Amino acid sequence: MKIILYIFTLTTSFISAQNITTKLIDDENKPLSAISIEVETSSKKNYDLTSDKNGDFNFELEQASSFTIYIKEFGYQEFEQKFKTNEIKFPLTILLKKDETINLKDVVVSAQKPLVKRKIDRLEFNVENTPLQNLSAWDIVKNTPNVLVKNDQLSVRGNTQILVTINDKKTLMTQDELKQLLENTDGSTVSSIEVITNPPAKYEASGSAIINIKMKKNVLSGYKGQLSTRYHQATYAKGMLGTSQSYNKDKWQLSGSYYFVNGKYMRKNFDVTTYEEAKTRWESDMTRRTVAKEQHVYNFASQYSIDSLQYLQFGFNGYNNPASIGNYKVPTTIYNTVNNQEESNYLTQNHRKEFSNSFNAYLAYDKKFGKHNLTWTNNFSTRYYKENQNVLTQLNFKDKPYEENRFLSAALQKLNLFSTQIDYTYNQENYGLEAGSKYSFVQNNNDLDFYESINNIIEYQPEKSNIFDYKEQIFALYFSGNYKWKKWEAKAGLRTETAWINTISDNPNAKNKRTDTEIFPTLYVMYNFENAGQIGLNYGKRIDRPNYNFLNPSKSYYNLFSYFQGDANAISTIIHNLSLTYTLKDWNFETYYRYEKNPAMEISIQNPETFETVYHFTNIKNGEAFGINLSKNFTLKPWWKLNLFAMTEYNQNYYFGPDQLQYKNDVIFYNLNLSTQINLDKAKTFNISAGYIYNSEAIQGSFNISSSQNTYLILNKKFWEKKFEIGLTFNDIFRTDRNTISTKYANQNQDFKDYRDTQYFILNLKYNFGNQKVKDTKQAKKTTEQNRI
């Protein structure tokens, strides 16, 4: 990159050195307006400025002996230079060169940071100073290579067992809560997205991959804030009102946010179950309407710098939903498959009320001494969840009198978690070392009370009620090292985790007490070619521990003929990842193999004798996947970018049916993600983003999942020097983001049509005030155990 700076003295004017006026011009000597400039002075007074319509900006020097000017503007070469006050004359004129790509024979010299960069253990998707920053953080993640979004659920290379972190710090949120947070995170604060498909030994062994969202860093001090509101119109309307605040001054960094959400949620299911022996077909048409009048999402983070080498972090975050109320009416019609005539029917009315509250707090200490670094982090989490059901079933069965069945259930979950960990790092120019340890303790208590109407009297049913207790302790140690020589890079690590697990269930009576120790090796090798290409090979072993709720073996009834049942004896899934990567001139290729031993998932099983459908969480035998993907980002014009990601994967699962025979399910899966971003004006105040996502047929255990598509359009306009912002989002424009999930083997024959209200329109309004370049306080690490809540 070449930057040309012309500084000359204007002899016809005079200005005191204490009040500095500087002009920005381009190659044609025209002033550059609306350009963001950062000025850092030796007197510790810093400025965040914007050039006016004449290209001018000014600041007070206040006797500083030197100052540094930073300019990073899309379409222009980066500018960063330190000036000594006694060696220059004022005023200044800075000439910014346009960002151009120069071809010199076989060498490509780019004046812009590569959008996609392959590192030895991860893929980095850089979005700083690109049109992508006009999107929300959620939309940026959706456009990241290797990341798939299906039914608003994130996955990496088709695997949903992932961790999402912000600045390497984990988030204690469900998928819906995480989506809500990222939708309210301005893309201008995001620097890059890291996709770690084979995490190093430093990271906990749980989860198959990691998506790390890196926020922009800023040396400037000050205060910033944002007020935002959103109107979301799908089948029903939803609304959001929130604010975020940040303050960075001297030794303190403080940030916090609060969002209030209100609205109705809808999901449609059309389920068809065929019983071959009984020659009947059961069709249920369910529309789930849930009203959540208030949801509260909050976050606070603080950092205090004791000195330049050590600091403390403290913070908390949480989610509170006092009441989600659903009233579902589900008509079911039973047909005779011989003549396709209706012979019976029943109506299920389900009144549900849920209360959910989760809270997480952390305290961390970080100390640097020379090339050494020591970090101690502590986390505490608690979750309180209640669910009440009142289910009435009106039965009109063939050759039987009209009958009503009514049952009530009350479920309660209390979960507490504590963890503490120590991390040590040592870095030299060509090599580095990492080591650490972690201890965590989890206690999960579940209480299910079941009541049934007998002769119009509600009576407690102890044989259908349950108390379930789960305790888990995990102790981990890890060590890793990396080394660079000539064109080679290598990194290797080893992690060991010992888990003590104790589960007790009173109905059904089940006890499970076990101790498991696993070793998780990782290895990476990369060779860098002279023409900016790279080839790398890596291997890693991971573990996926079941969510706590899925280990409860009690029956949780949805209606008279279906229930969910966990498995107290479910074991963890062991995952082996092997990848070969190749990068050449911004083209990124990857081929990989994944083997899963005892993967756990939800399997539906029909019972022809009782006509019940059991949704059972359990382990299947194994799963394998072979895949290849490619990604490329094209700069068609300085104001127009096109992003391409495509993958194909052969996936196979082996599982046991209710007849105890082994079955195989396999598929070749395809994914295409094509998106574009266009800046419609030079000041980048008006932009358009559009995209198309295609997912082919997929599998999960015994299930076959149909293909789906999503086409979206996002418009964004900023006013009043980018302080006020209006955004419009049109998602799933053609209403094609829906699935049919089916299974057919042995005596199993089911189809589920699922639509999650993905066609919607969103109006976003944001008002920014204060110094918008202040960085948000980094979040302290949260734990893998929190991710399983």
Q: What string of DSSP letters covers 211-270?
A: EEEEEPP----EEEEEEEEEEEESSSEEEEEEEEEEEEETTEEEEEEEEEEEEEEEEEEE
Tell me the C-alpha distance between 8 and 29, whole Å. Answer: 14
Q: What angle do CA 53, 54, 55 make, to 5 degrees?
A: 90
Of 110, 148, 141, the C-alpha closest to 127 is 141
**Residue 780: CB partners within 8 Å, gap ≥ 6?**
169, 301, 313, 314, 315, 362, 363, 364, 377, 379
pLDDT at 170: 64
The 3-class secondary structure across 3-21, one letter per residue, is: CCCCCCCCCCCCCCCCEEE
- CA within 13 Å, CB half, 362: 30
pLDDT at 224: 84
Tokens of 529: 């070619």
pLDDT confidence band for 50 (50 / 70 / 90): confident
Q: What is the pLDDT of residues 143-172, one digit of tens each?
A: 788 888 776 678 887 677 788 877 776 655
Tell me the C-alpha distance between 444 and 156, whole Å. Answer: 29
Q: What is the pLDDT of residues 375-419, one digit of tens each?
A: 999 989 898 999 999 999 999 999 899 999 999 999 999 999 999
Tokens of 348: 């299920």
pLDDT at 452: 93
pLDDT at 18: 57
Question: Where does residue 305 rank: exposed (0-12), middle (13-18), buried (19+ CB within 10 A)?
Answer: middle
Amino acid type, 81: Q
Q: What is the pLDDT of residues 669-701, one digit of tens each?
A: 999 999 898 988 887 889 898 999 999 999 888
Tell me the C-alpha distance between 222 and 337, whole Å. Answer: 72
pLDDT at 177: 66
Q: State how far the alpha carbon of 18 is from the alpha carbons of 57, 64, 65, in Å.
A: 14, 9, 11
pLDDT confidence band for 233 (50 / 70 / 90): very high
Does residue 157 contact residue 577 with C-beta atoms inside 8 Å?
A: no
> What number is the average pLDDT over the span 62-77?
75
Q: Measured in whole angstroms, how far is the alpha carbon of residue 244 from the centre of its chain?
A: 20
| Residue pointed to by tokens 């996955």 | 155
pLDDT at 134: 66
Q: What is the pLDDT of residues 535-581, one digit of tens each?
A: 999 999 999 888 777 888 888 888 888 888 888 888 889 999 999 99
Does residue 6 contact residue 77 with C-beta atoms inside 8 Å?
A: no
> What number is the average pLDDT over the span 435-463?
93
Residue with more model confidence, 113 or 434? 434
> What percent of the chain stands above pLDDT 70?
88
Q: State how far the alpha carbon of 480 is from the alpha carbons of 201, 299, 361, 427, 477, in Å.
A: 6, 33, 29, 12, 11
Tokens of 713: 């359009």
Does residue 415 contact residue 383 with C-beta atoms inside 8 Å?
A: yes
Q: What is the pLDDT of residues 99-133, one digit of tens each?
A: 653 333 333 333 345 577 788 888 888 887 666 66
pLDDT at 131: 63
Q: Kindly list the strands in the beta sheet with 79-84, ordered across the sheet, starting from the edge strand earlier in the chain.
A: 46-50, 36-41, 66-71, 79-84
pLDDT at 4: 35
pLDDT confidence band for 436 (50 / 70 / 90): very high
Of 682, 704, 707, 683, the C-alpha closest to 694 is 707
Question: Where does residue 659 rank: exposed (0-12), middle (13-18), buried (19+ CB within 10 A)?
Answer: exposed
| Residue pointed to by tokens 């024979």 | 105
| φ and ψ at residue 733, rounded to 5 degrees | -55, -35
Tell me the C-alpha distance between 391 and 452, whole Å. Answer: 10
**DSSP structure class, residue 776:** P
Residue with more model confidence, 87 or 655? 655
> What number is the average pLDDT over the span 258-274?
93
pLDDT higher than threshold 50 for residue 524: yes
pLDDT confidence band for 270 (50 / 70 / 90): very high
pLDDT confidence band for 442 (50 / 70 / 90): very high
Question: Where does residue 88 rank: exposed (0-12), middle (13-18), buried (19+ CB within 10 A)?
Answer: exposed
Maximum C-alpha span of the chain: 106
Tokens of 662: 């082994």
Does residue 774 contact residue 246 with C-beta atoms inside 8 Å?
A: yes
pLDDT higher than threshold 80 for residue 218: no
Q: What is the pLDDT of residues 710-739, one digit of tens each?
A: 999 999 898 988 889 999 999 999 999 999
Q: In terms of residues, how long is the chain?
A: 789
pLDDT confidence band for 65 (50 / 70 / 90): confident
pLDDT confidence band for 12 (50 / 70 / 90): very low
Tell me the C-alpha distance between 73 and 50, whole Å. Answer: 11
pLDDT higher than threshold 70 for residue 97: yes
Residue with more model confidence, 134 or 763? 763
Of 329, 446, 469, the C-alpha closest to 391 is 329
Q: What string of DSSP letters covers 51-110?
A: --TTSEEEEE-TT-SEEEEEE--TTB--EEEEEEGGG--SSEEEEPPB---EEETTEEE-
SS3 for 783? coil
pLDDT higher than threshold 90 for residue 217: no
Strands 562-565 and 612-619: parallel
- Tell me the average pLDDT of the chain: 84
Element (H, E) at 179: helix 175-183
Of 203, 120, 118, 196, the C-alpha closest to 525 is 120
Residue with more model confidence, 173 or 348? 348
Does residue 150 contact residue 732 with C-beta atoms inside 8 Å?
A: no
Tell me the C-alpha distance between 119 and 525, whole Å. Answer: 10
- Report the chain's terminal Cα–Cα distance, integer Å: 48
Element (H, E) at 116: strand 116-118
pLDDT at 169: 66
Tell me the C-alpha distance between 429 and 596, whole Å. Answer: 37
268: left (phi over 0), alpha (psi -120 to 50) or beta: beta
pLDDT higher than threshold 80 for residue 333: yes
Tell me the C-alpha distance between 575 and 263, whole Å. Answer: 39
pLDDT higher than threshold 80 for residue 221: no
pLDDT at 116: 77
279: left (phi over 0), alpha (psi -120 to 50) or beta: left
Task: Dihedral sign for Cα 159, 161, 165, 171, please.
Answer: positive
Of 246, 245, 240, the C-alpha closest to 259 is 240
pLDDT at 498: 96
